[in-house]
């Protein structure tokens, strides 16, 4: 028995199990941060109509991929490549193997608008303390509806110890004002070793609570 225990300890030490964390916006949260011309991050439910620049037709996202809630963000006006931070990993050590995926709703096959996952090395205490690009092995969403974009990283951010998981927004035309493109995002999965902590957007104000406040205000 002792021998088995010792073997188990060795196995744990040599090959710590990577843990997967999942987030699907069901807590009413939005994003952990953003960069560039990202506007109007909102937690939404049900069908949502979105615009795809000023020259492309509107489209409708039928609803969440999982659960009832999902994320809306927009790029307005179009410029550079904005991103939403949809997850953040802290406590990372050089050499850590980290994978992440996120889904974007994309109806333009082989062209923008599209979402692409990307990594950013950050400082140890703030997902918005950007230090350097961590790149991505992931591709753009395919354009067949809810599409996955996923990447793996071998952590090389040194003393920063943080990795921001970005959902990058690619609009068409890539620059222009006035231009407005809506994006819909759901289902983030992050797999990281046990020394890491995975953070997701914090809970928003419950819809019921906000509604009750409004009702009470009517009778004051
Ligand atoms: Ca969801």
| Number of domains, the chain | 1
Q: How confident is the model at residue 218, as a pLDDT?
A: 45
* Residue 9, domain member (yes or no): no
For ligand 1, the distance from its centroid to the CA atom of residue 86, given in whole angstroms, is 13
pLDDT above 80 for 10: no
* Residue 10, domain member (yes or no): no
* Residue 1, domain member (yes or no): no
CATH number at residue 66: 2.60.120.260
pLDDT in tens, 152-169: 999 999 999 999 999 999
* Residue 3, domain member (yes or no): no
Q: How big is the chain by its Cα radius of gyration, in Å?
A: 20
Whether 56 contacts 143, CB under 8 Å: no
* Residue 82, domain member (yes or no): yes
Dihedral through CA 119, CA 121, CA 123, CA 126, nearest 10? -10
Q: What is the mean pLDDT of the chain?
A: 90
Q: How confident is the model at residue 79, as a pLDDT?
A: 95
pTM recorded for the entire structure: 0.86
For ligand 1, the distance from its centroid to the CA atom of residue 131, given in whole angstroms, is 30
- Which residue range is the domain that position 103 belongs to? 16-218
* Residue 7, domain member (yes or no): no
* Residue 2, domain member (yes or no): no
For ligand 1, the distance from its centroid to the CA atom of residue 44, given in whole angstroms, is 9
Q: What is the largest CA-CA distance in the chain?
A: 71
* Residue 186, domain member (yes or no): yes
pLDDT in tens, 51-94: 999 878 899 999 999 999 999 999 999 999 999 999 999 999 99
**Number of neighbours of residue 66 by Cβ within 10 angstroms:** 15
């Amino acid at each position: 028995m002792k021998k088995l225990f010792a073997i188990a300890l060795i196995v744990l030490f040599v090959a710590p199990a990577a843990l997967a964390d999942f987030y699907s916006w069901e807590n009413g949260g939005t994003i952990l941060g953003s960069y560039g011309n990202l506007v109007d991050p909102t937690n939404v439910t049900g069908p949502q109509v979105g615009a795809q620049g000023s020259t492309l037709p509107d489209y409708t996202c039928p609803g969440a991929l999982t659960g009832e809630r999902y994320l809306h963000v927009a790029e307005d006006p179009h410029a550079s490549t904005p991103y939403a931070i949809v997850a953040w990993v802290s406590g990372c050590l050089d050499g850590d193997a980290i994978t992440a995926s996120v889904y974007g709703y994309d109806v333009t096959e082989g062209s923008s608008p599209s979402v692409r996952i990307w990594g950013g090395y950050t400082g140890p205490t703030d997902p918005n303390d950007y230090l350097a690009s961590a790149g991505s092995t992931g591709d753009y969403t395919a354009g067949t509806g809810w599409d996955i974009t996923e990447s793996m990283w071998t952590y090389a951010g040194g003393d920063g110890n943080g990795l921001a998981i970005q959902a990058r927004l690619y609009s068409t035309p890539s620059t222009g004002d006035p231009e407005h493109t809506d994006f819909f995002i759901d289902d983030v999965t992050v797999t990281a070793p046990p020394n890491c902590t995975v953070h997701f957007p914090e809970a928003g104000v419950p819809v019921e609570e906000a509604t009750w406040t409004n009702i009470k205000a009517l009778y004051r």
